[in-house]
Amino acid sequence: MRAPGHPEREHPEAFYAGQRLVAIDGSCFELPDEADNASHFGYPGSRTSVSGHAGYPQARCVVLVECATHAILGANIGPYRSGEWELCTALLPRLGPGMLCMADRGFNGVEQWRQASTTGADLLWRCSDTRELPVQQLLSDGSFLSSIAPSGAARAAGATAITVRVIEYAMPRDDQALPRYRLLTTLLDPKAAPALELARLYHQRWEIEAVFDELKTHLRQGRRVLRSKTPELVQQEFYGWVGAHYAVPWLLHQGASRHRLPHAELSFKGHLELLRRAQPRSGAFPPRAAQTQTPMVPRVA
């Protein structure tokens, strides 16, 4: 999604040091309680239910999002028991040079880091504050270089440790904040990317939570479950759902570019309602191209 002219100058909130800010994360959503859906996608567990599981099957999805515009750049869906990284690997080809990808604590294993960084994108991922990361070189801004080591099996297969930069910070004015936050990044130069800037920047990752709210609350209009009763139709509906979401940030982006406004000043809900009012005027269209018919030639009596 690019604006006319130079996108970084027109929408600086979408970039950091020339890199497009994106985030990746996962979520779950409920499906109709049909046998095929339950068999394919599975149920979450429940301690209060007699059956031992929740009342509805659930699917797990992952999305790659441009933080400023909320545009979904890639999406994948799988069974509830799927690992988020298992679903994320299909989205890695969407990453590339010129992007800075942010992710939460679920995505900082050595192999995950290796796969994502191989795309050419830079990474800014949160990790547990209890993880052992030895200080190998203290940097001028208080961050430090360390390394993340592969597991025994990966090490035996020849995998080597990866150098990372570690940024630790606290938010003392927030009573609900944790005592310490810790980030890992591929941006190793503290002068080009100071620790304080990256700590502040990371909180844009939460824009992806707003995208899940837009999908589940506004687009579904409060419906608890999707409509589809078979796995094939669930997948079809999911990608249609994601495509419909993309149309709204695109419309919002056009308005932001035309009037040179930050994307955050424009309302997703307002643009969605605009589309809903305008869509009936577009007329019906078939799901596939109409067949060409032989023209009728009037006969002369």
DSSP class of residue 225? B
Distances (CA, A) of 90 to 44, 170, 175, 266: 24, 34, 39, 31
Give residue limits of the domains in the chain.
Answer: 8-275
* Confidence tier at 5 by pLDDT (50, 70, 90): very low
- State the Cα–Cα distance between residues 282 and 294, nearest whole angstrom: 27
Cβ atoms 217, 270 nearer than 8 A:
no
Helix/strand/coil percentages in the chain, nearest 5 = 35, 20, 40
Please state the pTM of the whole predicted model: 0.83
Q: How far apart are CA 56 and CA 12, in angstroms?
A: 43
Percentage of residues in the chain with pLDDT exceeding 90?
57
Q: Any idea how long the chain is?
A: 301
Residue of 59, 46, 27 lying closest to 235 (CA atoms): 59
CATH of 8-275, one of 3.30.70, 1.10.3470, 3.90.350, 1.10.10: 3.90.350
Pairing state of beta strands 137-138 and 99-103?
unpaired
pLDDT tens-digit series, residues 83-133: 999 999 999 999 999 999 999 988 878 899 999 999 999 999 999 888 889
